[in-house]
Amino acid sequence: MRGVTAKARYSSRDNTECDTTERVFDYADVLSDNEEEKLRSLIAKRERQCGCDIVLVTLDRSLKDEAREIDPDVDYEEFVRIYAEQFYEEHNFGYDRANGDGTILVDNWYREDDGNIYTWLTTTGRAYDKMSDYDVDYVLDDVYRYIERNPYRAYKTYVNGVYRQMTGSGLFRLRVPGWIPWLAGIIAALGFLLFNWNSKKGASTVTAFTYVAGKQAQFPVRQDRFLRKSVTQHTIQTSSSGGSSGHSSGGGGGHSSGSHGGGGHHR
């Protein structure tokens, strides 16, 4: 369980090596000019409040060739990870120092030849230390709730999500172990059976005259009528497959450079 903590404010940004003041790189052109400006204003505010650079990149091109030049065996879901880490390092992002405290979200709208669109959230410095696998996945889940219908709202959710994770502001989440729902279901089923067993115990439902009327045997006729067939398909997930809300991979652990964490989804 996580409660609300005091809001931290970082008045000055100590990194003097970053080569850009831009935070919104909408190469896929999924945002309007007005939406980009509103995101820039929000990011500037949130960066001062949480002491982390918050970067957004949208793409609409395959990353397969350039990713596999670096790592020939890299999986499709890792293409955006490689791009995100390189982009962050090449521009020297980081609130406290070059390649320091901050996050970058890369959302590639291009459908790779495996049929998926990939997104990756990279964490560095304090964000790497502060945001666990669960936290990264929580932010990405919120982004994917809106991404197809309203990209601006999705990216705004990313910015505010990072801010909340870094400061604890407005967060109150109860983490329920996976076995709790199963146990609750078993208890409910046992309670139902016990209640019905006690209510019927000792009751006589059949007598010597139940099926006799006028010296003739009477048996009620019962029919089961098939009304409708409903088939619901469920895909059994593996570590390399995704669901309707996107696949999560990676997490708080470090990757190629040893200084980044993060995770990804696909749709």
Supply the pLDDT for residue 230.
Answer: 27
51 Cα distance to chain centroid: 23
Give the DSSP H or E segment for 39. Answer: helix 33-50
Helices 133-146, 151-167: inter-axial angle, 10-degree rounding: 160
Locate 232 and state its tokens: 């619901």
Listing DSSP states for 54-96 in one string gives EEEEEE-S--HHHHHHH-TT--GGGHHHHHHHHHHHHTT--SS
Distance CA 29, CA 178 (A): 40
Q: How many CB atoms lie within 10 A of CB 35?
A: 18
> Is residue 195 over pLDDT 80?
no
Distance CA 128, CA 63 (A): 24
Q: Which residue has the higher pLDDT, 118 or 202?
A: 118
Supply the pLDDT for residue 254.
Answer: 45
The tens digit of pLDDT for each residue in 43-55 reads 999 999 999 999 9
> Is residue 5 over pLDDT 60?
no
Domains and CATH numbers, the chain: 24-173+242-266 (3.10.310.50)
The tens digit of pLDDT for each residue in 211-240 reads 555 555 554 444 333 333 323 232 333 333
Supply the pLDDT for residue 233.
Answer: 31
Query: Rounded mean pLDDT of 59-71?
Result: 91
Listing DSSP states for 193-257 in one string gives HHHHHHHHTT-----TTTTEETTEE-----------------PPP-TT---TT---EEESS--TT
Q: Which region holds residue 94: left if phi is over 0, alpha if psi is between -120 and 50, else beta?
A: left
| pLDDT mean across residues, the chain | 78
DSSP, collapsed to helix, strand or coil, labels residue 117 as coil
Looking at the chain, the whole-number percentage of residues with pLDDT higher than 70 is 64
Query: Rounded mean pLDDT of 123-128?
Result: 96
Supply the pLDDT for residue 209.
Answer: 52
Helix then strand count (H, E) for the chain reads 7, 8
Of 154, 148, 158, 147, which Cα lies nearest the Cα of 123? 158
Contacts of 60 (CB under 8 A, 6+ apart): 27, 28, 29, 108, 109, 110
pLDDT classification of 69: cutoffs 50, 70, 90: confident
Supply the pLDDT for residue 12.
Answer: 85
Supply the pLDDT for residue 3.
Answer: 40
Supply the pLDDT for residue 172.
Answer: 42
Query: Rounded mean pLDDT of 180-193?
Result: 66
Do 74 and 82 contact (CB within 8 A), yes or no? yes
